[in-house]
């Protein structure tokens, strides 16, 4: 009896070794080689994109899409080598299709949003955008989400459907951006002199564009000052630097020209009832 059991166990192990081990080895080789080939293909496609100067936004989207599709096909191929019945597997997926579709509804919407972004191109990698409470530079556009980098070096991951279906501000969509500088001028000071000083500071700033030309105005009469305003244009990427340097330049120029910038004042009149 023991000999019969040992013989049966030996035959069972032999069947496993001869039937499944070779399949496991082949499947492992296919998985390893296939994974390496996919990575090589991704690098080749990256060089091709760069050579043909394909837009960075489209590069990232295609890279994500091709990488995922090829790796899914590779896994399915390995499953077929191992003898897993693909017809049964597909039938199971079909039966669970409705549930999977409901569970992945948001993901599919994000994928559709990514396609819309690439087709309509409301923004591209490197643009500074705002959408709701999100604001930052676009770092990459993936198939499901877009990554933004804020001015203070934080990363924000925004679902593509948010950017594709809701209102959004793209600060880099136009080649020029207007800068507005407000400054108070004391009553009694020369408005024309103040305007000339503000325009001179703008003309000396290398980040201010010559066209359209900058101009200065007396905007309105404030409680404690004449409210002057300078309008100038700069490149979108220089927007904040231009504001900071113009503010500093106007302040220093007003001091040099003895133009007073007043602080808030209030006149109090005391009436003697006696």
Domain ranges in the chain? 13-95, 108-170, 177-256
Distance CA 207, CA 232 (A): 10
- Minimal CA–CA distance to 178: which of 121, 229, 122? 229
Determine the Cα angle at 141 with ends 140 and 143, to 5°. 140
CA quadruple 42, 47, 48, 52: dihedral positive or negative? positive
**Structure confidence at residue 112 as a pLDDT band (50, 70, 90):** confident
Residues in CB range of 27: below 8 A, 6 or more apart: 78, 81, 82
Burial class of residue 198 in the structure, from the number of CB atoms within 10 Å of its CB (0-12 exposed, 13-18 middle, 19+ buried): buried
Residue 10 has pLDDT above 60, yes or no: no
Q: Which of 238, 228, 161, 168 is nearest to 199 (CA)?
A: 228
CATH architecture of the domain formed by 177-256: 2-Layer Sandwich (3.30)
The CA-based angle 263-268-271, given to 5 degrees, is 170
- Summarize pLDDT for 228-256 with one digit per residue, the tens: 999 999 999 999 999 999 999 999 999 99
Looking at residues 39-57, what average pLDDT do you find? 76
The pLDDT confidence band at residue 100, using thresholds 50, 70 and 90, is very low
| Residue 179 confidence (pLDDT) above 90 | yes
pLDDT at 238: 94
Q: Whole-angstrom Cα distance, residue 55 to residue 254?
A: 46
Strands 145-149 and 155-159: antiparallel
- The strand pairing partners of 157, in sequence order, are 147
- At 105, the pLDDT band (50, 70, 90 cuts) reads low
Global pTM value: 0.59
- Taking the chain, what is the end-to-end CA distance rounded to the nearest angstrom? 130
In the predicted model, what is the mean pLDDT of the chain? 82
For residue 104, the SS3 value is coil
CATH class of 13-95: mainly alpha
How far apart CA 45 and CA 51 sit, in angstroms, is 10
Q: How many helices (H) and strands (E) does the chain have?
A: 8, 8
The confidence score (pLDDT) of residue 244 equals: 96
| pLDDT-wise least confident of 11-15, 198-202, 266-270 | 11-15
Residue 9 has pLDDT above 80, yes or no: no
User: Quick one: pLDDT band at residue 90, thresholds 50, 70, 90?
Assistant: low
Query: According to the CATH classification, is domain 108-170 in 1.10.10.10?
Result: no
User: Per-residue confidence at 93, pLDDT binned at 50, 70, 90?
Assistant: low
> Which pLDDT belongs to residue 55?
66
Please give the angle made by the CA atoms of 103, 108 and 111, to the nearest 5 degrees: 150
Residues 48-55 have a mean pLDDT of: 71
* Closest alpha carbon to 148 in 124, 164, 166: 124
Q: What was the pLDDT predicted at 14?
A: 58
Predicted pLDDT of residue 140: 87
What pLDDT score does 59 carry? 72
């Amino acid at each position: 009896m023991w000999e019969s059991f040992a013989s049966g166990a030996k035959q069972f192990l032999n069947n496993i070794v001869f039937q499944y081990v070779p399949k496991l080895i082949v499947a492992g080789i296919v998985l390893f080689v296939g994974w390496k080939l996919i990575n090589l293909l991704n690098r080749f496609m990256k060089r091709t994109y760069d050579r043909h100067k394909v837009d960075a936004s489209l590069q990232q989207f295609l890279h994500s899409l091709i990488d995922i599709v090829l790796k899914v096909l590779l896994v399915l191929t390995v499953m077929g080598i191992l003898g897993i019945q693909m017809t049964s597997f597909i039938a199971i997926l079909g039966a669970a299709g409705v549930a999977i579709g409901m569970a992945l509804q948001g993901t599919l919407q994000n994928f559709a949003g990514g396609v819309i972004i690439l087709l309509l191109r409301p923004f591209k990698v490197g643009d500074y955008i705002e959408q709701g409470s999100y604001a930052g530079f676009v770092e990459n556009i993936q198939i499901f989400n877009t990554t933004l980098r804020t001015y203070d070096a934080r990363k924000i991951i925004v679902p593509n459907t948010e950017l594709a279906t809701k209102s959004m501000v793209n600060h880099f969509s136009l080649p020029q951006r207007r800068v507005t500088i407000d400054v108070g001028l004391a009553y009694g000071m020369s408005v024309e002199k103040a305007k000339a000083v503000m325009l001179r500071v703008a003309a000396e700033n290398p980040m201010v564009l010559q066209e359209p030309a900058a101009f200065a105005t007396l905007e309105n009469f404030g409680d404690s000052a004449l409210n002057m305003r300078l309008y100038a244009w700069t490149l979108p990427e220089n927007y904040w630097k231009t504001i900071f340097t113009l503010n500093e330049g106007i302040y220093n120029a007003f001091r040099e020209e003895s133009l007073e910038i007043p602080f808030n004042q209030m006149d109090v009149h005391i009436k003697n009832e006696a």
